[in-house]
Amino acid sequence: MELNIETIQALAKIMSEEKLTSLALDQGNLKIEMKREIGSAQPSGITYQEAPIAAAVPLPHHTQPVAAEAIEIAETAHWKEIKSPMVGVFYQSSQPGNPAYVTKGQHFSEGDTLCIIEAMKLMNEITAETPGTIMEVCVGNGQVVEFGQVLYRIVED
């Protein structure tokens, strides 16, 4: 990628159209970060550096995580978190209108599909590493998620 005014303007247009407050792009030894304040039409700061740093796609400011009510469980149980292994779009089912793979309070087995994360037009099934029960769904269907963001809180069996 060549850093020129057209590239910067194209990135600023994407930020504006998608209502993003920040954008980070990593292309080998070139890293571009753009940030703007909510309500601002243009990015407020642009930085670049020549160091390989992982890129992150931030959540749009209008997207809020869906916080489900916690299910009461015995105090001896320990909640675990299932985190996103990648940046992408979180989907609770394989197609719109289909039932969610798992819902709050539902038991699941090792290897069961919990959700799909779409990254770069590829649908990636996220499967359970251990059996357990969903205690909380932490993101909404169609929401952009970041690497390491909590998707579910569970209690392992």
pLDDT, tens digit, 9 for 90 and up, residues 114-153: 999 999 889 999 999 999 999 999 999 999 999 999 999 9
CA 32, 34, 35: angle at the middle one, nearest 5?
Answer: 155
User: Rounded to the nearest 10 degrees, how much is the dihedral formed by the CA atoms of 46, 36, 22, 68?
Assistant: 170
Q: How far is CA 84 from CA 12, 15, 46, in A?
A: 27, 23, 28
Give the residue with greater pLDDT, 63 vs 10.
10
pTM: 0.52
Q: What are the residue ranges of CATH 2.40.50.100 in the chain?
A: 79-156
Most confident option among 1-10, 15-24, 37-46: 15-24
Q: What's the chain's average pLDDT?
A: 75
pLDDT at 77 over 80: no
Domain 79-156 falls in which CATH fold? Answer: OB fold (Dihydrolipoamide Acetyltransferase, E2P) (2.40.50)
